[in-house]
Amino acid sequence: MAGNSSDVLSPKQPPLPSPLRFSKFFQVIVADNYFTGSKDNLKKWIGHPRFELIRHDVTEPLTIEVDQIYHLACPASPIFYKYNPVKTIKTNVIGTLNMLGLAKRVGARILLTSTSELYGDPLVHPQPESYWGNVNPIGVRSCYDEGKRVAETLMFDYHRQHGIEIRVARIFNTYGPRMNIDDGRVVSNFIAQAIRCPSFLSQSLVCFSGEPLTVQSPGTQTRSFCYVSDLVDGLIRLMEGSDTGPINLGNPGEFTMLELAETVKELINPDVEIKVVENTPDDPRQRKPIITKAMELLGWEPKVKLRDGLPLMEEDFRLRLGFDKKN
């Protein structure tokens, strides 16, 4: 059973917390190599006196003064993380080592955004944090799944060996506005496909001329979808709280891919066709978080239901794709 490392005594005292922790004014520094991220998403903050953006790849060391590190850097969509698997595993392993090295040098607290992929194709359902997972170590998804597993190991080893203050979140599928439109994740795929498919006035007509909603076979595989604002709230609570984690952050509502497609069709474009296509290797059959730990330790639970979150994402996608509701 995976334990909560808070129970394990640190052999070393933690490094002195950075004096920045007690500073009255805070500053946000974002480091990104823009592999899947975009400056566009940050344009609201560029030029703000307390905001700084650095083009930086976490596989290289970073020397800055900070008191908290949110370590999110890693492509999260299969299309992108499989594109250069060696780089993905380097980002997870060398990138996490570099961020832990930074945390150690400046006495910062560090939070890792780990993933439900760590549970692989789970043999336990729903998944508690104590479940060790069922992951293929040599498959095409392993660069991400095993990469994150090593990243978690590094976090806990630095905690035990050097006393670093760590926080580990295991995130389940999260969606929301400003996601990469073509990044291949299921919610963004369905929404973009439903918007791009021309809508006919009669609901009885099926959209054969535009893009269908492509559901990977068999369509009965399940996922749980968390809206981005809920997730951010959970991450901040975890960072500010006293528990190391790992803590599941996700929405326990569970949907099959066919149910998700039907919901997108109903809410966004009733004329769109749903088409079942071939699946990719090692696609997990089911995913649903147990969030008792997050509820008890962080006072957190998601508030936004899928049916309320999807239209918020649709609005943003329509704007960026240049399709208003009438098209």
Ligand X SMILES: NC(=O)c1ccc[n+]([C@@H]2O[C@H](COP(=O)([O-])OP(=O)(O)OC[C@H]3O[C@@H](n4cnc5c(N)ncnc54)[C@H](O)[C@@H]3O)[C@@H](O)[C@H]2O)c1
Among 102, 155, 171, 313, binds ligand X (CB under 6 A): 171
Looking at residue 286, its amino acid is: Q
Q: Is 32 in the site for ligand X (CB under 6 A)?
A: yes
Residue closer to ligand X, measured from CB, 73 or 194: 73
State the catalytic residue, choosing from 144, 158, 175, 227: 144
Question: Could you confirm whether 144 is annotated as catalytic?
Answer: yes
The pair phi, psi for residue 5, each rounded to 5°, is -70, -5
Q: Is 5 in the site for ligand X (CB under 6 A)?
A: no
Stretch that binds ligand X, among 14-22, 53-61, 128-136, 153-161 (CB under 6 A): 53-61
Distance CA(258)–CA(276), nearest Å, equals 9
Stretch that binds ligand X, among 43-51, 66-74, 135-143, 152-160 (CB under 6 A): 66-74
Contacts with ligand X: how many residues (CB under 6 A)? 23
Q: Is 304 in the site for ligand X (CB under 6 A)?
A: no
Residue closer to ligand X, measured from CB, 207 or 231: 231
Q: For tokens 């060790």, name the residue.
A: 132
Lay out the site mask for ligand X across 177-216 (x = CB under 6 A, - = otherwise).
Answer: ---x------------------------------------
Give the three-state DSSP class for 94: helix
Q: Are 262 and 122 in contact (CB under 8 A)?
A: no
Q: Is 57 in the site for ligand X (CB under 6 A)?
A: yes
CA angle (143, 104, 146) in 5-degree steps:
15
Q: Is 113 in the site for ligand X (CB under 6 A)?
A: yes
Distance CA(226)–CA(230), nearest Å, equals 7
Report helix, strand and coil shares of the chain as percent, to nearest 5. Answer: 40, 15, 45
| Residue 171: closest CA among 216, 122, 221, 232 | 232
311 forms beta bridges with none
Chain residues that interact with ligand X, rule: CB under 6 A: 32-37, 57-59, 72-77, 91, 95, 113, 115, 171, 173-174, 180
Catalytic residue annotation: 144
